[in-house]
Structure 1
Amino acid sequence: MADGTRQAGPAMRPSVRETYGPADLSRDRVFAGGFINFGHWQAIDLGRPLDERDRIRSQEDLYRQVLAAAGAPVEARILEVGCGTGMGCALALEECAGAAVTGLDIHPDQLRRARDTHRDLLRREPERLRFVHGAAERIPLAEDAFDAVVSVEAAQHFPDLQAFAAETSRVLRPGGRVVVASFFTVDDAPGRPGELAGLLETFANGLDIARPVRELTDALTAAGLTGARAASIGRHVWPGWDLWLSRWWAPDTWPRNFLQAYRRGILDYYLVTAEQPRSEPQP
């Protein structure tokens, strides 16, 4: 399925290289279980003290939201763009009957971790799981290869959403769906990037890129996908994430400002979906 004529894509941005490099962000105490996402906390009781099991479930549940929205058929071929340590890929194998999953990541350190973490699974299921080096803007895989393209909390790093959308359209089969879970600005007001840079270190240092969610839905539509829409899921993300962070950070520290940005109507978390049109029947 790999297309040898396509290159891996643009160079990794320095902030991405540093953040996901030798230090291994997945081992940070705020990210339990090897995942690296803020979590979906709807099914978790936030009125009691949280523990590591709650944190792991929140991250798994975010993937479950994405996989449910993808509506992948039995024995689907699924591509995760920005797979990190591959925990979501392994979960997809469990959740989706007969699925074959490809994890794509631009960072070689993350791919090494994914292969090390899932060494036994790769050995047992060589036809169902693999990890590939490549960029979201230049996916080194064949056309019409996947029933679903998913991306969980990675699109905020993608430098070119239009190129990502075009590549997604290229690799999706007719009737396939793309589902992106990530955080974006709520509108394109000129001051939004500066506001976020003043609140959050990850926007100030360039790791996260401040863009309106409409930029992604417009890009998916321009790439030929249909029904592009963005549904806010922030109410199920930000309060739980902030409560988990409160174990280590005071309210006036920058990590706690994600919830403040949401409450001020600057930033939100979205589930973005679109579909590849089905081929017209031949006469």
Structure 2
Amino acid sequence: MISESIPPEVREVYGPADLSSVPAFAGGFINFGYWDGIDLDRPLTVADRVRSQRQMYRQVFEALTPPGAGGAGPAGRVLEVGCGLGLGCALAVEESGFAEVTGMDIHPQQLERAARENRGLLADRPARLSFRQGAAERMPFEDGRFDALYSVEAAQHFRDLSAFARETARVLRPGGRVVVAGFFPPRDAPDTPDRLAGMLDSFASGLDLAHPLDALTGALGDAGLESVRAESIGPRVWPGWDRWLVTVGYADAWSRHFLTAYREGLLDYYRVTAAAPSAPPPHGA
């Protein structure tokens, strides 16, 4: 059973504790935000926070665009792995040219919340938006089901990046694209997990795992995906996230240490892209 495989830390934080309800994640998207164009030298507002979270998703949608597509997103079937409340899925339906968006999450309470948050959109556009329970390492979909797959700030919870990468390669059609946005240690240094655990409660508790960046990029490549690229977007994430934490009263809390970890080279925020191999030409073509 999928529910029985949920790590206890994930079960609590995304279940009874409802991370989306805390002030740090005002707006419900549960990501640190992409703060480009937002003035951090003035008092920040909830509108700024929501804008930053939406901008993070737009960075992901932009990267799903195939090279040479002229800015038009892939008008096909798209899967979000770790969809949370489904607000990113709703944004994909409302702003992108995706024909069908599926949000998948391992936690049943998150899916219940997603259904409530998006009940209007689910009623108005049932063919374009749906939600499904599933694990990143064991996706409940047939081979080649999706034209694109993305995940925003969920990979730090995945227990097996190799299994996630294999499942990603399996459910993508030939030529399909994947984008993962999230935070990872830049290097596989032996002391990094302990140092992060000493600075950040989410790593100490086991909620977040210190997967080095090359563990993800290597897993994607080993699964047969091509053109694997990792781009740091940390300069547009960490200062704004830290400024927002001060705004909502976390001035002396553990969460302020994300910026410290970034400045000390222990952690950065990346947009990772890859593509499934294209289908071979017909025999004799």
Q: What interval of TM-score do these two structures reach, taking the shorter chain for normalisation? A: over 0.9
Match of 1:38 in 2: 32
Match of 1:224 in 2: 224
In the alignment, which of 52, 56, 67 is matched to residue 61 of structure 2? 67
Normalising to structure 1: TM-score of the pair? Answer: 0.95
1:62-141 equivalences under 5 Å are 62-71=56-65, 73-141=73-141
Match of 1:166 in 2: 166
Deviation at 1:18, TM superposition (A): 0.5
- Rounded Cα–Cα distance in structure 2 between residues aligned with 1:198 and 1:74: 42
Deviation at 1:186, TM superposition (A): 1.1
Gaps of 5+ in 1: 1-6
- Rounded Cα–Cα distance in structure 2 between residues aligned with 1:102 and 1:187: 33
Match of 1:27 in 2: 21
Match of 2:277 in 1: 277
Deviation at 1:8, TM superposition (A): 4.5
- After superposition, give the CA deviation of every residue in 1:17-48 in whole Å (9 maximum; x if it has no partner): 00001232111111122211100001211121
1:245-260 equivalences under 5 Å are 245-247=245-247, 248-250=249-251, 252-260=252-260
Match of 1:17 in 2: 11
How many residues are paired up? Answer: 276
Deviation at 1:9, TM superposition (A): 8.4
Contact 1:232/1:268, CA 8 A, preserved across alignment: yes
- Rounded Cα–Cα distance in structure 2 between residues aligned with 1:185 and 1:46: 25
In the alignment, which of 40, 44, 49 is matched to residue 50 of structure 1? 44
SS at match of 1:151: strand
1:265 aligns with 2:265: yes
Contact 2:136/2:158, CA 8 A, preserved across alignment: yes
Match of 2:143 in 1: 143
Provide the aligned C-alpha RMSD in A. 1.3
- After superposition, give the CA deviation of every residue in 1:170-212 in whole Å (9 maximum; x if it has no partner): 0001111100001001101100000000000000000000121
SS at match of 2:90: helix
Contact 1:10/1:137, CA 8 A, preserved across alignment: no
- After superposition, give the CA deviation of every residue in 1:105-157 in whole Å (9 maximum; x if it has no partner): 00000000001111111111111000000000000011111111000000000
Deviation at 1:253, TM superposition (A): 2.6
- After superposition, give the CA deviation of every residue in 1:237-272 in whole Å (9 maximum; x if it has no partner): 00000000012122x431100000000011000001
Contact 1:180/1:273, CA 8 A, preserved across alignment: yes
The percent identity for this pair of structures is 59
Normalising to structure 2: TM-score of the pair? Answer: 0.94
